[in-house]
Amino acid sequence: MLHYLRDYARPTETFVVNQVCSLQTYSSEVLCRRQRIDVPASTTGSPVEVHSFAATERRIGHGDEMLYRMRVLSPSEGRYYANTIVGVHPNLLHAHFGTDAAYIFSVIRRLRVPLVVSWYGYDIARIPRGMCGLGRLYLWSLLRSRQVMHLAMTPQMAGEIRAIGAREDSVVVHHHGIDLGYWSKTGTPRREPYLLMVGSLVEKKGHLHLLRAFAEAGTIYRDVRLVLVGDGPLAKQLTTEAKRLGIASRVDFLGYVPHSALLRGLYQSAIAFVHPSTTARNGDQEGLPGTILEAMASGLPVVATRHAGIPYAVESGVNGILVEERCEGELRDAIVTILGDDQMRRRMGAQSRKRVNADFDLAKQVQRLESLYDSFTCGDAAG
């Protein structure tokens, strides 16, 4: 079978690489527009063959991301994809991100190859509402086709995919898995207690709200640090805000850290994980952040927001505490609560591990995904 996405793969998309490399009964190859030289290493599985249309292309900045996602396939690129698909002769193509599936769909439809599409967040939250309705039009043929099965990460996302036009029976809830064995390995403890957040420095992650809530919580817990892993366009604004709040000496901006012993150690040594996602001003939202699942697999309680698919994994009072988006007072209180109760943290951390083992373990999710492949290819996928 073939997997398709335009960029294979961005540093923050290890979850795609893991899916591709971990299939057991289906052999995988990748078709892409560009194979990046900084493809993140899979935490599990084996390397796969990659068919790339263009070896190099200018990097896409945050400002023109929407236009890039809604580009139209060129004739030469379409011919390359068609010839590659005919040569590989897959029984199934799995496209990652709804926008990338729409980009290649004219070729897939013509060749009548069954198509599975994984939606992850940006593609469903922002694109359908973008460009004065043109975003939804861009996705329309893909959404209505009987040749397509749509995979939503959460029930909430499944409803959103149906709401923008997907056929009711074409949407299935399936979340990619994470390697529990990898994240359960013990890291090197750090001496100072700290809260951890891992995520790109963009508006929807809620870093500004976290800094302000942490500053207030810090009047009670002055010995606790905040460790922020990630890079992005808000880096300068966030460091400036930390200085303004008087907490710069207690906040560590580590930048991007790849999946590695260092990142695993940061999870293992943290007191709790914090991820106050919010709907950005441009409408961008999360799906279900993979870093939350990594934290849960590492046995951490999670403080997060009632945002998008997060409540699907984090149950407030069981394996974490959920607060309303942008509510810095609630976020402060949740941080104070989690820091003040060692037994609560241990209990919630154990529940986190139990929850992720039940529904997000990579080995189990791969089996479930391959069962979905089987049911789809054996059914009527040629409409």
pLDDT per residue as tens digits for the range 221-244: 999 999 999 999 999 999 999 999
Residue 107 falls inside a structural domain: yes
What single-letter amino acid sits at 287?
Answer: G
* 154 and 226 fall within a common domain: no
Residue 126 falls inside a structural domain: yes
For 211-234, b/e burial (b = at least 16 CB within 10 A) is bbbbbbbbeebeebbbbbbbbbeb
Residues 157, 288: Cα–Cα separation, whole Å: 9
In this predicted structure, the answer to whether residue 187 has a pLDDT above a threshold of 80 is no
Residue 284 falls inside a structural domain: yes
Res 379: pLDDT: 66
Q: Among candidates 3, 269, 27, which has minimal Cα distance to 115?
A: 3
Question: Which residue is listed with tokens 């359908």?
Answer: 128
* 66 and 168 fall within a common domain: yes
204 near 171, Cβ under 8 Å? Answer: no
Q: Among candidates 14, 3, 115, 77, which has minimal Cα distance to 381?
A: 115
* 149 and 226 fall within a common domain: no
Confidence band of 131 (pLDDT split at 50, 70, 90): low
For 289-301, b/e burial (b = at least 16 CB within 10 A) is bbbbbbbbbbbbb
Domain range enclosing 368: 2-177+361-378
Res 188: pLDDT: 54
Residues 251, 257: Cα–Cα separation, whole Å: 16
Res 62: pLDDT: 46
Confidence band of 125 (pLDDT split at 50, 70, 90): confident
* 170 and 249 fall within a common domain: no
Confidence band of 46 (pLDDT split at 50, 70, 90): confident
Residue 242 falls inside a structural domain: yes
In this predicted structure, the answer to whether residue 35 has a pLDDT above a threshold of 80 is yes
* 189 and 165 fall within a common domain: no
Residues 215, 224: Cα–Cα separation, whole Å: 11
> Percent of the chain scored above 70 by pLDDT?
92
* 236 and 370 fall within a common domain: no
What single-letter amino acid sits at 44?
Answer: T
Q: What is the pLDDT of residues 171-181, one digit of tens each?
A: 999 999 999 98
Query: Looking at the chain, which runs of residues are DSSP E strands?
Result: 2-8, 29-35, 49-54, 93-96, 115-118, 148-152, 171-173, 194-198, 225-229, 251-255, 272-275, 302-305, 320-323
Give the count of domains, the chain. 2
Res 126: pLDDT: 81
Residues 71, 85: Cα–Cα separation, whole Å: 21
* 81 and 142 fall within a common domain: yes
Q: How large is the average pLDDT for residues 208-214?
A: 98
Mean pLDDT for the chain overall: 91
Collect all residues with Cβ–Cβ distance below 8 Å to 338 and sequence separation of at least 6: 271, 272, 301, 303, 321, 344, 345, 348
Residue 351 falls inside a structural domain: yes
Res 242: pLDDT: 98
Residues 167, 144: Cα–Cα separation, whole Å: 6
Q: How large is the average pLDDT for residues 85-108?
A: 96
Confidence band of 115 (pLDDT split at 50, 70, 90): very high
In this predicted structure, the answer to whether residue 382 has a pLDDT above a threshold of 80 is no
Residue 374 falls inside a structural domain: yes
Q: What is the pLDDT of residues 64-86, one digit of tens each?
A: 565 566 678 999 999 999 999 99
Confidence band of 283 (pLDDT split at 50, 70, 90): confident
Instruction: Indicate the pairing of strand 49-54 with strand 93-96.
Output: unpaired
In this structure, of 135-149, 153-167, 368-382, the range with the lowest mean pLDDT score is 368-382
Residue 208 falls inside a structural domain: yes
In this predicted structure, the answer to whether residue 132 has a pLDDT above a threshold of 80 is no
Residue 383 falls inside a structural domain: no
* 228 and 346 fall within a common domain: yes
9 near 39, Cβ under 8 Å? Answer: yes
* 157 and 288 fall within a common domain: no
* 232 and 158 fall within a common domain: no
Q: How large is the average pLDDT for residues 273-278?
A: 98
Please, how many CA atoms are within 13 Å of residue 196, restricted to the half-sphere of its CB?
27
The CATH number of whichever domain residue 318 belongs to comes to 3.40.50.2000
* 124 and 207 fall within a common domain: no
* 208 and 158 fall within a common domain: no
Residues 73, 124: Cα–Cα separation, whole Å: 20
